[in-house]
């Protein structure tokens, strides 16, 4: 399998507390150095709770944020500028909130034309043909093109968002919580559409979500993020069914599932570590029932725990 996307030691640190003169007071590591590969035609699910760095990662991947360290390689070629236009042709982004990602004062046609005109310099007649082709593939009627964004429901607007990403002709799409603003019945329509498009256009997806069941249903592989680092990565059917990292297990046990009695795996209110003052060692150690002295001093690295699974834990559950 060829590699569509390769991340090497990608990290992002935000300065905190500007001073008038001199450097910032502190810094927050939103994403710890992270290496990942996504294969051509694969869907990699990225799951994590709020504040785990999923959105920061996504914005770095499309050039909206400049990484502090590391490199992004797309189909073997490195992209090290932070110019969204350079990224745009190769990797595109589908936003969480479909309505607010469309300019309220532009018609859908103007919105759709922008990437064709600016990224590909396509002449008008060709643009028209291409737009109707794309609209057809996302099951939208062409008469929608001359309307304004507020006239659409969430599901339709999200299809338009997907259509815009397709217009750039990128082969990798970053889907940042693409269905979490949608109702469940519409959510399924959009997820199925995404699956069809991937098959038809041989696309590669990075599917970011906080909804474990949705990620599991659409992904080939899943990476679990905690506190800015990947704690476990493996095949979708195994990650939640047979977790290796205690945090993955906590997530899987917390998800409400029909037929399972209500239980809170963690009774007390536990909170994420302070990002300004991160603990030494494993960030999950304070919440972990298996934590030992080693976990509190040494940071575990991602290492194989099964044939296709890797986890960043000294005491993985599969042991």
Partner 1 sequence: MTGFLTLLARNRLALAGGIVLLLVGLLALVTPLLPLADPDVTNTSNRFRPIFSPDALLGTDHLGRDLLSRLMWGTRLSLAVGFAAAIVAATLGAAIGIIAGYYGGRTDNVIMRGVDMLMAFPYILLALAIVAALGPGLLNALIAVAAVNVPFFARNIRGITVGIAHKEFVDAARLAGLSNTRIILSEILPNVVPVIVIAMSTTIGWMILETAGLSFLGLGSQPPQADLGSMLGEARSALITNPHTSIVPGMMILIIVMAINLLGDGVRDALDPRLKSGALSRPMAATRVDRKAPVPAPTGAGLLDVQSLETQFHVKDRVYRAVGGVDLHVEKGECLGIIGESGSGKSVTALSVMGLVASPPGVVTGGAVYYDGEDLIGAPYRRLREMRGRNVAYIFQDPLATLHPLYRVGDQLIEAIRAHRPIGKAEGRAKAVDLLRAVRIPNAETRISDYPHEMSGGMRQRVGIAMALANDPDIIIADEPTTALDVTVQAQVLTILDDLRRSRGLAIVFITHDFGVVAQLCDRVAVMYAGRIVEEGRTAEILDAPRHPYTARLMACVPELGGGKRRLEAIAGLPPAVNKLPPGCAFAERCTRVQEDCRQGHIPLARAGGHGVRCLHPIDDSREAAQ
φ, ψ of residue 141 in degrees (nearest 5)? -80, 145
Q: To the nearest whole angstrom, how small is the minimum distance from the Cβ of residue 262 to partner 1?
A: 4
Nearest residue to 182 via CA among 167, 162, 199: 162
CB of 263 vs partner 1, minimal distance in Å = 7
Longest dimension (CA), the chain: 67
Smaller CB separation from partner 1, 153 or 297: 153
Q: Smallest gap, in angstroms, from Cβ of residue 297 to partner 1?
A: 25
Q: How far is the CB of 157 from partner 1 (least distance, A)?
A: 11
Collapse the DSSP code of 255 into the 3-class scheme (helix H, G, I; strand E, B; otherwise coil) and give the result: coil
CB nearer to partner 1: pick between 99 and 303: 99
Q: Based on CB atoms, which residue is closest to partner 1, 199 or 301?
A: 199
167 vs 230, which CB is nearer to partner 1? 167
290 CB-contact burial (10 Å; exposed 0-12 / middle 13-18 / buried 19+)? middle
The least distance separating partner 1 from the CB of residue 246, rounded to whole angstroms, comes to 12
DSSP state of 12: E
CB nearer partner 1, residue 33 or residue 79:
79
Mark 145-184 as b/e (b = at least 16 C-beta within 10 Å): beeebeebebbbbbbbbbbbbbbbbbbbbbbbbbbebbee
What the block records as the tokens of 103 is 């300019």
């Amino acid at each position: 399998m060829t590699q569509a996307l390769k991340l090497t030691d990608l990290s992002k640190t935000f300065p905190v507390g500007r001073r008038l003169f001199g450097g910032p007071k502190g810094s927050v590591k939103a994403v710890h150095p992270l290496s990942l590969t996504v294969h051509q035609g694969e869907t990699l699910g990225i799951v994590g709770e709020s504040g785990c760095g999923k959105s920061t990662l996504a914005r770095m991947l499309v050039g909206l944020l400049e990484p502090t360290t590391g490199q992004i390689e797309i189909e073997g070629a490195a992209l090290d500028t932070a110019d969204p236009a350079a990224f745009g042709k190769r990797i595109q982004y589908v936003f969480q909130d479909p309505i607010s990602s469309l300019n309220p004062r532009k018609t859908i046609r103007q919105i759709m034309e922008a990437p064709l005109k600016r990224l590909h310099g396509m002449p008008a007649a060709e643009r028209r043909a291409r737009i109707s082709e794309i609209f057809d593939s996302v099951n939208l009627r062409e008469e929608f093109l001359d309307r304004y964004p507020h006239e659409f429901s969430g599901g339709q607007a999200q299809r338009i968002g997907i259509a815009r990403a397709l217009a750039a002709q990128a082969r990798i799409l970053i889907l940042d919580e693409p269905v979490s603003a949608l109702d469940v019945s519409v959510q399924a329509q959009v997820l199925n559409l995404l699956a069809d498009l991937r098959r038809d256009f041989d696309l590669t997806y990075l599917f970011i979500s906080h909804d474990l069941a949705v990620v599991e249903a659409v992904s080939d592989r899943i990476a679990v993020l905690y506190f800015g680092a990947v704690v476990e990565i493996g095949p979708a059917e195994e990650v939640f069914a047979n977790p290796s990292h205690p945090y993955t297990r906590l997530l899987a046990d917390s998800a409400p599932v029909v037929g399972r009695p209500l239980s809170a795996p963690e009774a007390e209110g536990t909170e994420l570590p302070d990002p300004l003052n991160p603990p030494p060692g494993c960030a999950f150690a304070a919440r972990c029932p298996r934590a030992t002295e080693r976990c509190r001093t040494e940071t575990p690295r991602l290492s194989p725990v099964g044939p296709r699974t890797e986890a960043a834990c000294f005491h993985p559950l599969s042991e």
